[in-house]
Each structure stands twice: as C-alpha cells, then as structure tokens.
Chains A and B, each alone.
Chain A
Amino acid sequence: MKQCPIKEMPEREDEVRSALDISALNVVFPTKVGDVHVARDVYLRVGENESLCLAGESGCGKSVLALAITRLLPKKANIQGKIRVHGVDILEAREECVRRIRCRQISLIQEQPSLCLNPVMNIGSQVAEAARVSLGYSSAQAKRAALDLLRRTGIPEPKHRYRLYPHQLSGGMNQRVMIAMALAARPRLLIADEPTTALDPYIQVQLIELLQGVKRELGASLLLITHDLDVALELCTDVAIMYAGQVMERGKLERVVENPRHPYTQGLLRCFSEEKPRAIPGVSPPLSDIPSGCGFHPRCPLARPECATMSPIWRNGCRCHL
C-alpha cells in the first residue's frame, strides 16, 4: 500500500488534539422529489479520549453523519463544510490518504452485524483480514492476532468459533465479531452506529461493558450514535441531540439529562419518565420537507409565532428561541 503522510495539515494546536472536529457541515442529496437536507449546519467536536453520544430519532440524519466522517457517502451527495479527523481534512484529502485513515484511525461498528459480515467467509478470517490489511501482518500473524481479538472481545472458545460462519452465531456474538474487526487496527476514533439496538438488554449490558473496556484499554475516542439515552449514560460523557438534520442541544450528558434546555430534549426524556408513556405529539418531518424556522416548531408545546419564521441561533449549547 502506498504510504501517505497522515499528518497532512495540522494547522492549530487544538485541532491536532481533537479526534474529530466537524464544522458547518451541510449534506444535501439531490433527488427527483427535491433536495433532501440530511445535515444542516452541524458542529461537533470529539476530543482525544472523549466520548460523545449523537442521539435522535430515526431518520434525523445520524447515520449519514457517520458515513460522511468516513467519506463513504455516494458521489452525488453534496457535502459542504469541514470534517477533520486528528487534524486532517477528510473532505479535501486524497483518496489514498482517506483510505489509510479509514484503515488505521477510524473504525465503524454498524447496527446490523449480520448484514455487515460476509456470509461466505468464516468469522476468524474476516477478523484476520482486517488485521492483515490495516497493519500489514502476514497471514500467520494475522491469524494469531484474530484469535487474540476474538478472545478479548469475550467470545468463548475462540479456536473453535474461528471457523464458524456468521449465520451460526447469535446477534450478540456477531456484534462482538464486528467489534473485534473494528479493534484490529487499534483505531484512535471508534464510531459505533446503534451497536446495541435490537439486542436484548442482557446482551446489551454485556456489549456496553465490552465497549467500556475497549475504550479504557485503547484510549480511543468514541462517537456513539443511538436513540437510547440509557445506553449513552453508560458510555459517554457528552451528548449532542439531533433533530431533522440539525444539532438541537449539546453538552455534558449529566447536565442534559438532569436539566434539558431544548423542548425536544425535554419531550424525549419525558417519554418514559412517568407512570404512563407520554409521546411527543406528531411525527418527525421527512428530511425533504423540513418546516421553516425551527424544525421542531410544529411539535413543540412551547412554540411561539417567531419559531415558525426565524431559524433559531445557537445559544448556551442549545438551538432554540426560548
């Protein structure tokens, strides 16, 4: 593989220190029915060894952001803004350079491991492949590394399981394999896109503990994408709440849970807090047709006339007029 200097253009000191720095990011998909604004004016920052949770309803553009960070969005997507990973501008960098960053620095854990794993390759070889490609190991070295990774991610009898195929393992086990693959390159930034959704809580807790251990051991930064703040509470220190392609509130997780500022965050936290389930009225808007002004105003219990016309500015870690 062609070597490419990873430090291409670290400009300022603090940019070098933050693992991920997104500023003024806009992503638009031009489609037949009109432009779909998947991300609108997104600012995010994950420092070294920090962990940020990106929370929001499905269809609010969380996963697209994960793909944008790894520059895996389709070519037709219109991306504006800056994404820096350890000081390197992902959107400007050369293809080999991005490839190398994907290989060595960022690892992505997806929601549905059974769809992401290769069904005709045994799990061991898949983990070994990751080690071979990213670290340049020989096949014997890679196999040893893969066995070690499988063991460390808590897969019992790794020697036996090495030869099994994804369909022979449960969802939780497959997710462990995905995590093992993600760790093969010893990444410095781990992006986990709904890693525990659709698993039962017992397995969720096991995986959360695994990710906690991984974070400690590698000293990696974590961007957790989820709609379940309970999972975030275990793993993250900071949170960004996303709604209709915009970050609505950002801050320390403890603070946001204790004292949410944005009406959307308040509604989200109230859903299960009382005796009766209490949903936020209405449904989230399609990204092709976002309401004018504040995107949340049609569902907001506190909406005022100006909310419908003026887009709120960012104030006190919260994007709201009130």
Chain B
Amino acid sequence: MSIACLEVSDLKKNYNLGLWRKKPFKALQNVNFKLYPGKCLGVAGESGSGKTTLARLLVGASIPSGGNISIMGRNIREIDQRGRLPSLVQMIFQDSTGCLNPLLKVRELLLEPLRIQKKKIEKGHTLERCLDLAMLSKDLLERRPHELSGGQRQRVALARALILDPSVLVADEPAASLDRSVQASLLSSLLERKQRMGTGIILISHDIRLIRLLADDIAIMHKGRFVESGPARKILDYPRHPYTRLLLSSVPGQKRTRDKRFVAF
C-alpha cells in the first residue's frame, strides 16, 4: 500500500475557557486516522462536536495540545509553516464570502496563492488551468466576490485551494447553505479531483447525504471523539454505535422516502 498522505495519531486539543475555570474544555480527544491518496474521509457529527477544530489542526491553523499529525510521512511541526505546508494541505471553508478578499477581482484572487508562494506565474496558462479546476467560466475573471453567486464563490475558493496542487484537501462544510443542484456540481468537482489527481480529501459535513456520495471512509464525531469509523458502506448499512444510529435516522425526509430513489438509506 502506498504511503498515507495524512496520518493522525492520538490528536488532542484543549481550550482554556475563562481565567477562573480550572478544567480546560476538551475539544478533541484521541483522534486517530489515516488518509491515503485518492481517498476521501467523511467526518460527520452535530454542530459543536469538534469537526472544525479538527480541520483547523490539520491545516496548521491552530496547534494541537497533544498527539501527532504527519503529512506525506513528515511531522507537521517539522514542515515550514509558511513555505511548505500550504502546498501540502489546503482548506475550503463554509463561508466563502468571509474568506475571499472583497476588494480583489476573481483574477487576482486566483493568482494570490501563487504570488504568496512565489511560484512563477505563466499568465494565460495558469489562469486557464485554474478556471478549469473549478469549472468557472472566463467572464467571471473581472468580477469581485459580491458579484458572484454563492456557488460560484465556493468554486473560486476551491480553485484557490487546488491551484497549489495540495496532496490533502480539507473541506469544512463546503456545501452547507448551497442549493441542492449547486451542491451536486461542487461535489462532482471534488470527486473528479479525487479520482484524477489522487488528492486525499477530508470532507467535513453534518449532512450524511453529501458524505455518502463522496466518502470512502466515514468517521462519526461526538463530543470531540471518533465514536465510530470505518468503510462508508459498513457504517451506513450497519451502524453499531447508538449515536451513529441516531445521526443516520435523523435525516429529513427519510421516513417517507426510505425506499424511493433520491434519498436511499
């Protein structure tokens, strides 16, 4: 088997809340997993279960309180945080409005990661590739973020993340608050990326319906722990932990559509 592009062992994160509270809040406890190239790990759980904390740790946006993260076999602490790390791991966020500079045009937004990484900008070629990655049309280049729709903004964010060819992509609720058809097109971009380029994807979402379309493995998070993890089929068809069962059964519409086509659980 090839080398894991992301390996997490015994990861912990504590937050100290307030000056007087003695016990730290344990946002993450003993998280272990391996992610291989071209695979997707879906992380599901309700809000407040520590999904975003995990994402932030993986991209080096916050420092773990314990445990190890290694990317392509190297410990995250040994990797140059500003130089090397961004070309290994990239992240897309839920709120694409908040993470795109409103003053820049789409063209500048797309080239910004290259500029920061001091990679050579071969004008036409890179931009075309960039647009290609996210299936954006050319006439969007001169627009600013507020002139784009939510789905288009999320695509720009995706293109920015993919332009550096990361080996791991962390997608934190990429499709929440998008329409179903826009969700589907975003997911198919991710799926294609995974299959064609062998990018490892961590898809964090509270929506099991999205995860089951993309993920090879699923981990269920609850109160900062992985309560159950394993191959997607196994977890969806034979959930063992009671919390997983609860999560799987609380999908809107599934009671009546159990044996129908479009939400097949």
Contacts and interface: CB of A to CB of B under 8 A. Distances in A.
Interface of A: 57-59, 170-171, 196-205, 208, 227-234, 257-258, 267-273, 275-280, 283-284
A146 to B, nearest CB: 27
Given A202-B46, A202-B206, 12 more contacts: A59-B149, A201-B208, A229-B180, A230-B209, A231-B252, A233-B253, A234-B256, A267-B181, A271-B181, A277-B184, A277-B188, A283-B149
Contacts of A279: 181-182, 184-185, 188
A57 B262 contact: no
Interface string B178-222: 111111110110010000000000000011110001100000000
Contacts of A233: 252-253, 256-257
Closest 5 CB pairs of A and B: A230-B253, A279-B185, A200-B206, A277-B184, A271-B184
B207 A276 contact: no
- Interface residues on chain B, size class: 35 or more
A277 B187 contact: yes
B47 interface: yes
Contacts of B152: 283
Contacts of A258: 260
B65 interface: no
Contacts of B182: 57, 279
Contact of B252 (A230, A267, A275, A280): A230
B151 interface: yes
Nearest to B209: A272
Contacts of A197: 177
B191 A205 contact: no
B176 interface: yes
Interface of B: 46-48, 149-152, 176-185, 187-188, 191, 206-209, 213-214, 246-247, 250-257, 260-264
A295 B138 CA distance: 23
B262 A208 contact: no
Contact of B255 (A234, A270, A278): A234
Nearest to A269: B262
B209 to A, nearest CB: 6
Contact of B46 (A200, A257, A280): A200
A170 B262 CA distance: 31
A208 B253 CA distance: 10
Question: In this complex, which of A57, A198, A268, A271 has the most chain B Cβ atoms within 10 angstroms of its Cβ?
Answer: A271
A288 to B, nearest CB: 12
A171 B151 CA distance: 23
Contacts of A59: 149
B184 A234 contact: no
B171 to A, nearest CB: 14
Nearest to B246: A202
A272 B207 contact: no
Given A228-B180, A233-B256, A277-B188, A201 B250 contact: yes
28 contacts: A57-B179, A57-B181, A58-B150, A58-B178, A196-B252, A199-B47, A200-B46, A200-B47, A201-B247, A202-B206, A204-B252, A205-B251, A227-B180, A228-B180, A228-B253, A230-B251, A231-B252, A233-B256, A268-B181, A271-B262, A272-B183, A272-B209, A273-B262, A276-B188, A278-B184, A278-B188, A279-B184, A280-B185
Contact of A268 (B178, B180, B191): B180
Contacts of B176: 198
Contact of B262 (A171, A202, A231, A272): A272
A277 B213 contact: yes
A203 B207 CA distance: 12
